[in-house]
Amino acid sequence: MSEGRLQRTLARTFGIMGTLIMGAIFVLESHYAVTRPRIADPDAGRIYPLNVHGIVYVTSGKQFHIQIMETAAATCILGFALMFYLELRRRKREGEGGK
């Protein structure tokens, strides 16, 4: 597999994964907005505020899952941007070499 093809494949993979993860975060937070309490519930462990169209309270585990998903999405988007940049540099370099 050539360098350019690998970069394009990685860019597409990172871009698709980042988009899918961001979509999953949106769906999950929308679900939490209608199913989680708007008042802290210490007995159930729902004491961590989450701002989704107003404040709802989640458990530490749910908060951790959302943070992991946000970190993964950001990492994928940064990976996409890096691969896109490297692909543009490669194309520019190949264009200059042919002159």
Query: Could you write out the three-class secondary structure of the chain?
Result: CCHHHHHHHHHHHHHHHHHHHHHHHHHHHHHHHHHCCCCCEHHHCECEEEECCCEEEECHHHHHHHHHHHHHHHHHHHHHHHHHHHHHHHHHHHHHHCC
Q: What is the pLDDT of residue 53?
A: 85
pLDDT beyond 70 at 1? yes
Q: Count of domains in the chain? A: 1
- Does 95 reside within a domain? no
Asked if residue 99 has pLDDT above 70, the reply is no
Which range, of 50-59, 60-69, 89-98, averages the lowest pLDDT? 89-98
In a domain, 99, yes or no: no
What is the reported pTM?
A: 0.84
On whether residue 86 sits in a domain, the answer given is: yes
- What domain range is 72 assigned to? 3-90
- Residue at 49 is within a domain: yes
List pLDDT tens digits, range 71-91. Answer: 999 999 999 999 999 989 988
